[in-house]
Chain A
Amino acid sequence: MEPRKISPVVQQAVDHYIDQSQTLNQHTENQSLQSLRAKAQMLFADRAFPTQKDEDWQYTKLRSFTQNHFKSQPAKHLTLEQVNQFLPDFPVTKVVFVDGWFNEALSDDLGALPKQASFESYADVTEQTGDFHKLYEHEDDVAKEPFGLLNSCLAADGFFFELEANATLETPLFILHIQTNALQSVQVRNRIDVDENAEMTIVERYVSLDPNQSEAAFTNVVTQIDVAKYARVRQIIMQEQHENAFYFNNQYVFQQDHSNFITFFGSTGSLISRHQNHLWMNGEHIETEQNSACLARNNQTVDSRTDTQHNDVWGLSQQLHKYVLADSSTGVFNGMIRVDQKAQKTDGQMDNGNLILSNKARMDTKPQLEIYADDVKCSHGSATGQIDDKQIFYMQARGINKSDAIRIITHAFLLEPTESISNDGIRAWVVSRLSNGLEKINH
């Protein structure tokens, strides 16, 4: 293949990030980590940022992103009160990151976690040459994603969390990312290991201190989650950064026999928000649920992707992705269910519903199936449309005025995926966050 043409603007951005990665390498003594980053730099220099000609990026336009040169800056000082306004109303163990830097003082005392649970920051993990691989275990897969690769170049903080076998973490772990600085580059690398028969809930929230900030910011996360045999993991992610921010998240989830993993992604913020689940179902009788509720207005782009690999028998995967698009926003959904020849008796369901509220909004969706086993039940469905006039009429006939009727229908439509959240407190909180986003939409 002939070398791709890179525009000067993109080339500048690429050089800028490679520079940053090299600076980062000068400040670490871990030689293995240095060579890992150097390798990532080479790949990144070669591939640069994807363009609309790349199959997976044709609907997500990066022009507004590459124009900025995001910097890695020290975190602003925040008071506890400033942080606590972002806490949910149910009990949690909070872990606070400010501008991508783990802040021990603002976080709860992690020493007080049950003894079966351990939390180590990125710095702790990478100090030990032997241990740092835990955060970089699947580099080949990560490098396939442009922003995963960039994260390999630039990641400078994050955490490693492990829950030992048979333990149950009663209080959800709440990972709070607060963005404060203009043009901040947040590069986080995490790993969560949930050992055999252990159970936990993770809640992640991405917010901006100033919701009206006009300068861009860039959050780029890579998380590996290992769900061991019989383990049960619930994950809720709320992305509510200010509307000039960028959000990219790649999650790599590895499941073993009889494990259960349920993840929910809610998105109301950021100019471009792209959330990707890469899921390997590497065992028998695995159950998985991936849901998302995405809301976009103005010029926002919200992109949610799932790649579900059924690699063994009796797997069950379910997905429901709902989008509400207002103004000139763009929604993108891309789902892939791949069923290996070995994965007989698979049940894979994927559903995507989109509500378009404005004539300038657009929705691009690509629900895919790739099936190599014959005794399977797989289906996908996708529907896009506007609110049915009959529904509005029905409500008006019962004395509900038109704008309320539209609001009620839109709410009900968007909130359907939250029904999979079994904890009442968490569900109520997610519903209130999404409702808050819906209030901002002009009907």
Chain B
Amino acid sequence: MVEAAKITDLTHDAPFESQYEEIDELLSKKQFYKEGFITNTNVETFAKGINEDVVRAISEKKNEPQWMLDFRLKALKVWQSMEEPHWAKAEYEPLDYQDYSYYSAPECGSCAGECNTDEAGEPEIDPEVAKAFAELGVPIEGNSEVAVDAIFDSISVSTTKREELAKLGIIFCSFSEAVQDYPDLVQKYIATVVPVGDNYFAALNSAVASDGTFVYVPEGVHCPIELSTYFRINEAKTGQFERTILIAEKGSYVSYLEGCSAPVRDTYQLHAAVVEVIVHEDAEVKYSTVQNWYPGDEDCHGGILNFVTKRGICEGDNSKLSWTQAETGSAITWKYPSCILKGDNSIGEFYSVALTNRHQQADTGTKMIHIGKNTKSTIISKGLSAGFSDNTYRGLVKILPSAEGARNFTQCDSMLIGDKCGAHTFPYIEVGNSSAQMEHEATTSRIGEDQLFYCQQRGISEQDAISMIVNGFCKDVFSELPLEFAQEAEELLAISLEGSVG
């Protein structure tokens, strides 16, 4: 296809507008979502619909204690009293929540509570599921440098390196297990950062939370390896509602990564996650995401609706929380990883690359709430829009009167590739302290003809040149990602952009 495009280039003296015609042509033919295969295995899936019985059934399936069921039921009530929000700059039909299934699990692994992992060792993993993860390159056998929690639809199928981590006192397990094994910790922290009624999707998540990861790093421990979670939605018409809690005690450090993908389906799939991060005194948490949910077909039908609430609190003094994200998938992304900077001298960071192509819509950004003295935050957001997509940065920097000497720096850069897409910036800045200092800047640009010409003149193909320029544009963010992830993100970017340039 690329060859063909080049030939047309030579045969007629194309004005530069035609560059985009080629893009469109390529876009319409290229299918570049490589994780779109479907795994066929025996699964247990609940009938569609949501009501009190379904919530009770989920809880029972997971063999949950009473307090967790009460938590879910309360959340369901709250959710039922709320309205679906539509303020984001993304257009979608109101969802029919009764048309989704709220629980789905491979049969053999669906015993999170019943199998006693301590005695029987790791439960057997469904070979089909194992194959799927192998194909995705997720090391669920525990033979890599990274500890992995692999989540398939509603349940966690495997968590590696647990014993090694346990020696250091680090708890790394699925959320369902944590509810069983560490109820005190879960009860202490759940919904403290993201209250049940925080927003519509957080409430829904609290009611039907499927699985997620639970990480607890004890005082003074520097987690020696990267912890990671891989989410896979497989079943059609199911929603995934992961709930992740990460706690870093005083003086600890942890770097956590998450990745995700889903097969090609023809109906919208819902992903409404809640992530809560609690960072105590002198601790540091690095949270990186490479989001590659299925974006849907040409018109983004059937893609994942990614409505996520991620929030962390820098509870103690001198704590640090850093969010890094590379967003390339999903039909609609609605995601604002936030930091509540409560401890004095705490630091919040947000580094983001969001790429939208075809009809994808992304409304993403962050919130930095400065409460403590001398708190600092940095926001670097790079938005790339191609095709017919809309890419929005929406962020809030709020400096409360108590945040003496607070400091914020925000930079939002957008790049447009093609003339049918949109790039938008909606920052909210609220300053309530005179000693605070905040700066915000935003720019919009495109890949210059002269930049391309310069590269091509030196023998670099147009495709490579664009990829080089785009990577340069995103470098500030990629340099924040852990090494393997940085590479993956760069490759993803190249794949997602493939065909979007002549």
Interface residues of A (CB under 8 A from B): 55, 59, 341, 344, 354, 356-386
Q: Report how far A103 CA is from B418 CA in the complex, Å.
A: 56
Q: Which residue of B lies closest to A366 (CB)?
A: B428
User: Which listed residue, B401, B424, B431, touches A363 by the CB 8 Å rule?
Assistant: B431
B419 touches A373 (CB 8 A): yes
B434 touches A365 (CB 8 A): no
Q: Which residue of B lies closest to A336 (CB)?
A: B426
Residues of A contacting B445 with CB < 8 Å?
Answer: 377
A372 touches B442 (CB 8 A): no
B427 touches A374 (CB 8 A): no
Q: Which residue of B lies closest to A346 (CB)?
A: B444
Interface SS of chain A: helix, strand, loop or mixed? strand
User: Which listed residue, A344, A365, A376, A384, touches B437 by the CB 8 Å rule?
Assistant: A384
Interface SS of chain B: helix, strand, loop or mixed? strand
B422 touches A381 (CB 8 A): no
Residues of B contacting A383 with CB < 8 Å?
Answer: 437-440
Interface string of B398-430 (1 = CB under 8 A from A): 000100000000000010111111111111111
Q: Report how far A373 CA is from B427 CA in the complex, Å.
A: 20
B434 touches A367 (CB 8 A): no
Complex A-B, nearest 3 residue pairs according to Cβ-Cβ distance, in ascending order: A374-B416, A356-B434, A385-B437
A359 touches B424 (CB 8 A): no
Query: With contacts A383-B439, A386-B434 known, is A377 near B444, CB below 8 A?
Result: yes
B255 on interface, CB distance cutoff 8 Å: no
Residues of B contacting A366 with CB < 8 Å?
Answer: 426-429
Task: For the A-B complex with A374-B416, A374-B418 known, give 12 more contacts whose Cβ atoms are closer than 8 Å.
Answer: A356-B434, A362-B401, A362-B430, A368-B426, A371-B416, A371-B424, A372-B421, A372-B422, A373-B419, A375-B446, A376-B444, A381-B441
Residues of B contacting A364 with CB < 8 Å?
Answer: 428-431
Q: Report how far A372 CA is from B423 CA in the complex, Å.
A: 7
A369 touches B444 (CB 8 A): yes
Interface residues of B (CB under 8 A from A): 87, 401, 414, 416-446
User: Which listed residue, B423, B437, B444, touches A379 by the CB 8 Å rule?
Assistant: B444
B431 touches A378 (CB 8 A): no
Query: With contacts A371-B414, A372-B422 known, is A379 near B427, CB below 8 A?
Result: no
Measured CB to CB, the closest approach of chain B to A383, in angstroms, equals: 5
A374 touches B419 (CB 8 A): yes
A367 touches B419 (CB 8 A): no
Residues of B contacting A373 with CB < 8 Å?
Answer: 416, 419
Q: Which residue of B lies closest to A361 (CB)?
A: B434
What are 6 contact pairs spanning A and B, CB under 8 A? A359-B401, A359-B434, A376-B446, A378-B443, A380-B425, A381-B441
Measured CB to CB, the closest approach of chain B to A307, in angstroms, equals: 13
Q: Which residue of A lies closest to B441 (CB)?
A: A381
Measured CB to CB, the closest approach of chain A to B289, in angstroms, equals: 25
Measured CB to CB, the closest approach of chain A to B471, in angstroms, equals: 19
Residues of B contacting A372 with CB < 8 Å?
Answer: 421-422
Residues of A contacting B423 with CB < 8 Å?
Answer: 369, 371
B439 touches A374 (CB 8 A): no
B443 touches A379 (CB 8 A): yes
Measured CB to CB, the closest approach of chain B to A442, in angstroms, equals: 13
Residues of B contacting A380 with CB < 8 Å?
Answer: 425, 440-442
Q: Report how far A262 CA is from B419 CA in the complex, Å.
A: 30
Residues of B contacting A381 with CB < 8 Å?
Answer: 439-442
User: Which listed residue, B427, B443, B444, touches A367 by the CB 8 Å rule?
Assistant: B427
Residues of B contacting A374 with CB < 8 Å?
Answer: 416-419, 421, 446
Measured CB to CB, the closest approach of chain B to A305, in angstroms, equals: 14
Residues of B contacting A361 with CB < 8 Å?
Answer: 434
Q: Which of B401, B414, B421, B431 has the most CB atoms of chain A within a 10 A radius of its CB?
A: B431
Q: Report how far A367 CA is from B440 CA in the complex, Å.
A: 9
Q: Which residue of B lies closest to A326 (CB)?
A: B434
Measured CB to CB, the closest approach of chain A to B465, in angstroms, equals: 17
Q: Report how far A366 CA is from B393 CA in the complex, Å.
A: 12
Measured CB to CB, the closest approach of chain B to A87, in angstroms, equals: 37
Q: Which residue of B lies closest to A334 (CB)?
A: B428
